[in-house]
A = this chain, B = another copy of it.
Amino acid sequence: MGKKIKKIGVMTSGGDAPGMNAAIRAVVRTCAYYNIECVGIYRGYQGMIDADFVKLDARSVNNIINRGGTILKSSRSAEFKTKEGRAKAYENIKNAEIDGLILIGGDGTFTGGMVFYNEFKVPCIGIPGTIDNDIFGTNYTIGYDTALNTVIEVIDKIRDTASSHNRLFFVEVMGRDAGFIALNAGVGAGAEEILIPEEDLGLDRLLESLKRSKRSGKSSSIVVVTEGDKIGKSVFELANYVEENLQQYEVRVSVLGHMQRGGSPSCFDRVLASRLGVKSVELLLDGKSNLMVGLTNNKVTTTLLDKAVKGRHEINMELIRVSDIMSI
């Protein structure tokens, strides 16, 4: 067990996600509750290197639970990947008398924390914050539920115009290498087909399915595609290919892009962030380190950071079957 924790540093790192502010608020308020100090570190590891710190008390985080983005800002730091960078960061952490770190982000963020711990023994706890839901050790990452709602609201709008004009839309959503957003938002939005990295549908089956869908009386269709889907074509090439080979619909493409990262967090994400924020502080106070907090079967659980980074959060194959049945 390490020394007694009297001051905790909290940061957000990597891609931002809705609910990060709710997590920051929870960390800060839990520190206040246990009468320990809390320091915000701006711009993730880069702010650690630049000693870009701010003292946070319970009132500093008023009225942020409902805001998208992160008041602590985020970045990816190349300098922190160097030994010199990390040494500078440690110097600043030591000078600021920070005894433990709470790292809100994804794989890259957690890896940074582990390396830093190995070198300087600063205890750290990770909170999974990313819209992609691609982290092992939690059923849900903070921001994912909000992103799903953002995506279906946009597809609902696209469907208005798709069905008014009998069009076929290809909608590209985020997800890095994981189909969580595409599969869940696809089912939620009533998409006819969903292309995810975890399952290679193949162009022929896609065409066949769209033809069947047309025959069955559907006048418009939505296909949801994960960015960087492994089908070997960009969403625009895919759309062209389908338009040429199907010749039954006008085809249009919509790339949703960064709007998926923003917006006021859903209730689910705010509650999740609050629960994980409380637990993360309590783990540090209990002398723990190198753990990620997560939600497994509706309970707050912990996973070794190492496992969280190396493991793979598998997609729910049952949902693929549901999607197939729904698109009849």
Contact = CB atoms under 8 A, between A and B. Distances in A.
A26 B188 CA distance: 11
B254 A254 contact: no
A261 interface: yes
B259 A16 contact: no
Interface stretch (A94-102, A197-205, A263-271): A263-271
A111 interface: no
Interface string A150-170: 111110111111111110010
Contact of A73 (B59, B153, B164): B164
Interface string A129-171: 0000000000100000100111111101111111111100100
B160 A18 contact: yes
Given A255-B255, A258-B169, A328-B32, A274 B69 contact: no
Interface residues of A, number: 84
Interface string A5-27: 00000001001101000000110
A70 B268 contact: no
Contacts of A153: 264
Contacts of A218: 59, 62
A140 B160 CA distance: 21
A160 B68 contact: yes
Given A165-B75, A326-B29, A185 B259 contact: no
Contact of A16 (B25, B160, B275): B160
A190 interface: yes
Interface string A231-264: 0000000000000000000001111011111111
A41 to B, nearest CB: 14
B264 A254 contact: no
A299 to B, nearest CB: 8
A59 B214 CA distance: 11
B150 A271 contact: no
Nearest to A145: B268
A226 interface: no
